[in-house]
Amino acid sequence: MSNYIFEFNLETGKVENDTIPRYAVRYYEIENGIMAEVGDGYRHMIKLDAKHWNRILKIIKNDELDKDGIKAITSGLMREGLPEEYEETFISAIKSGIVKEIK
C-alpha cells in the first residue's frame, strides 16, 4: 500500500485520509515524482504521471472540450477507475480547485 499525500473521496465529495477501498483521487510519491491514481485502490483504478494528469485537469478546468469531449475522458480513458456515478463529483472537484495539479 502506498503512502498517499492527497486523497479526495469521490463517494463523499470530501478530502479525507484512508480512502481505501473507496473510489477516490489519490496522489502518492514515487522515485521520480508524484503519481495520480483514480479508483478503488485495488482492481479498479488508473494511474497517471503528473505531466499527463495535470493536462487532463487543465482540459476539464478550462472547458477546453465540449461535454462529449469531457465524457470521452471520464467514460473512456478513466472508465476503469471512475464509475459513472462519480463523474460529476470528479469534475466539480477539479473545477472548484479541490483536486489540484501536481506540482
**37 is a domain residue:** yes
**22 is a domain residue:** yes
Ramachandran class of 19: left when φ > 0, alpha when ψ lies in -120 to 50, beta otherwise: alpha
Residue span of the structural domain in which 62 resides: 4-96
**103 is a domain residue:** no
Q: Which cell is 35 given? A: 503519481
**26 is a domain residue:** yes
Residue-level pLDDT at 2: 64
Strands (E), 1-103: 4-9, 14-15, 24-30, 33-39, 45-49
Residue-level pLDDT at 97: 97
Structural domain total, the chain: 1
Dihedral of alpha carbons 102, 43, 17, 13, sign? positive
**58 is a domain residue:** yes
Question: What is the dihedral angle through the alpha carbons of 29, 34, 37, 40, rounded to the nearest 10 degrees?
Answer: 10
Q: pLDDT per position in the chain (103 positions), as tens?
A: 568 999 999 999 999 999 999 999 999 999 999 999 999 999 999 999 999 999 999 999 999 999 999 999 999 999 999 999 999 999 999 999 999 999 9
